[in-house]
Copies of this chain bind each other. A is one copy, B any other.
Amino acid sequence: MVRNKRRTGECIKVILIFLVLSLTGSALAVNGDKTLLNQAKQIFGPLPKAMISEKNPVTPEKVALGKILFYETRISIDGTVSCARCHPIGLYAADGLEKSIGNNCKLNPRNAPTVFNAAGEISAHWIGNRMDVEDQAKQAMIGPPSFGMPSYEAVEKKLRGIKGYAPLFKKAFPEEEDPINVDNLAKAFGAFVRTLVTPSSFDAFLKGKQTALAAPQKSGLKTFIETGCITCHSSEYVGGQIYRKFGVAEPYWQYTKSKNVDEGRFAVTKNEDDKYVFKVPVLRNVEMTSPYFHDGSVERLHDAVLIMGEVQLAKTLADQEIEEIVLFLKSLTGQIPDDALKVPLLPPN
């Protein structure tokens, strides 16, 4: 609750900044690099070292277990699904598919977003039907199109069946008598995912290094701010803090190649106002995680930016504006933590 209030506060702050900027006649346009940096510092912010949680403190032992479990296929109903299947680290933790294909070839309802920096979001999943990364991991175990297990007990039985897990869970949860359970599995996953922070040249810029962004990237950042993209895409994560209707100005499906109309968060709240509402995605590493939108309906980043201008802001962005925004967005492609790039050895059958 406290966290949500803070997020709402931040969001109001960003909207106010945007309004002030608009009212003062695009003050940014006439100011220099220094002003741009100061504005950017207020709107965004460099990524933290890890995305902490009071409920689930990150410990090296939990992270180590979580990383092993991230690659574990044997806890899925058909033995082919692991977190890494839909979030392969080498592809910036997104799978390149419109919609992920889970156990027994079941299609997931929406595009798999990267898990990098995802623990900084207000919730998990496009429609916010998972509280946080721990909740996401836990529910994925019994999610029909993901791991597809019949029950949490069945997952726990699989884990107990692989001898090597008992000491790993014991290390991660030393105070518990019998630590092999799905809640601890979720905590371990969560701890690992909370370390997946990918600082980029944009963070160097936000910390004051003017040369970290090239001139066209700075122009792109200016346009990103002035056009109003920051109304939704703000914070350290450049998104992920609010829900917003996809298609504020016009229905999104008239612009995307969507195969069907997704009512979004309405499915969760049954509130008419939540029709076509989705969580605003984090734009960190967006260059690397095509295809775009909740249904993966758009392949090129250029097209995605164009569509956002049309349907969210009722603005037809010029080609050069789009190109510069895309260049700015490329500055959000970050460095994957070394440890995440190392494959863990799994306990044998």
Which A residues contact B (CB, under 8 angstroms)? Answer: 68, 71, 73-74, 78-80, 85, 88-92, 95-97, 101, 104-105, 287-291, 299, 336, 340-346, 348-349
Chain B CB count within 10 A is highest, among A80, A95, A291, for A80
C-alpha gap A341/B342 in the complex (Å): 6
C-alpha gap A54/B85 in the complex (Å): 35
Nearest CB on B from A239, distance (A): 19
Nearest residue, chain B, Cβ from A291: B349
* B96, A71: Cβ atoms closer than 8 Å: no
C-alpha gap A71/B84 in the complex (Å): 11
* A96, B79: Cβ atoms closer than 8 Å: yes
* B80, A346: Cβ atoms closer than 8 Å: no
A–B pairs, 26, beta carbons within 8 Å: A71-B91, A73-B95, A78-B105, A79-B95, A79-B96, A79-B97, A79-B101, A80-B85, A85-B85, A88-B346, A89-B343, A90-B343, A90-B345, A90-B346, A91-B348, A92-B348, A104-B105, A105-B105, A287-B348, A288-B348, A289-B348, A290-B348, A299-B349, A336-B345, A341-B345, A342-B343
Given contacts A71-B88, A79-B101, A91-B348, 13 further A-B contacts (CB under 8 A): A71-B91, A73-B96, A79-B96, A80-B97, A89-B343, A90-B343, A92-B348, A104-B105, A105-B105, A287-B348, A289-B348, A299-B349, A340-B343
C-alpha gap A91/B344 in the complex (Å): 9
* A90, B71: Cβ atoms closer than 8 Å: yes
The 8 closest A-B pairs by CB, nearest first: A290-B349, A105-B105, A288-B348, A90-B346, A90-B343, A89-B343, A341-B343, A71-B90
Chain B residues in 8 Å Cβ range of A291: 349
Chain B residues in 8 Å Cβ range of A299: 349
C-alpha gap A345/B341 in the complex (Å): 9
Chain B residues in 8 Å Cβ range of A80: 85, 95, 97, 101
Nearest residue, chain B, Cβ from A71: B90
A288-B348, A349-B299 known; A88 and B101 CB under 8 Å? no
Chain B residues in 8 Å Cβ range of A348: 91-92, 287-290
Chain B residues in 8 Å Cβ range of A289: 348
C-alpha gap A9/B85 in the complex (Å): 44
* B73, A101: Cβ atoms closer than 8 Å: no
